[in-house]
A = this chain, B = another copy of it.
Amino acid sequence: MEAMPYNRPMLLALLRKHDISPTHQRLEIAQVLFRRCHHLSADQILVMVNKRHAETSKATVYNTLNLFRDCGLIREVIVDPKRVFYDPNTEPHHHLYNVDSGEITDIAADALSVSGLPDLPPGMVTVGVDIIVRIRASDSLLG
């Protein structure tokens, strides 16, 4: 796996490599996503990007996230019905989801193996296999 693109020149190269014109807003959003490799919601990204100066709109955040997703730069993580999280790690891997705190942690794909997946209906292809391990504190209310 290549090094994470921390700085502006690397982010710029990353966008160019994917034929995305590197506007100011897109670079800001990319920076937030790739600097600290967290799982972030659109709303969190909107806040972070506008921390210093308000300079990016909600519409642009959504446009950009959808663009990045379509280009394979990031991946959607669907674990919470309330919001989508975006994952800057597009290598195959899975997720640990803390249902109380909402925290998402990666599980390396090679640590884990699945056997016995069914044959697909004819003419169908697998887009991806998502494994979500939902966890919570053992002393939490529902325990």
List, in ascending order, chain B residues with CB within 8 A of A84's CB. Answer: 81
List, in ascending order, chain B residues with CB within 8 A of A137's CB. Answer: 123-125
Residues of A67-90 whose CB lies within 8 A of B? 76, 78-81, 83-84
**Taking the full assembly, how many copies of this chain does it contain?**
2
Nearest chain B residue, comparing its CB with the CB of A138: B125
| Chain A interface category by residue count | 35 or more
Confirm or deny: A47 has a beta carbon within 8 angstroms of a beta carbon on chain B. no
Interchain CA distance A127-B79 in the complex, whole Å: 13
Check if B118 sits within 8 Å of A131, measured CB to CB. Answer: no
A-to-B contact residues, CB < 8 Å:
76, 78-81, 83-84, 96, 98-99, 107, 111-118, 120-121, 123-139, 143
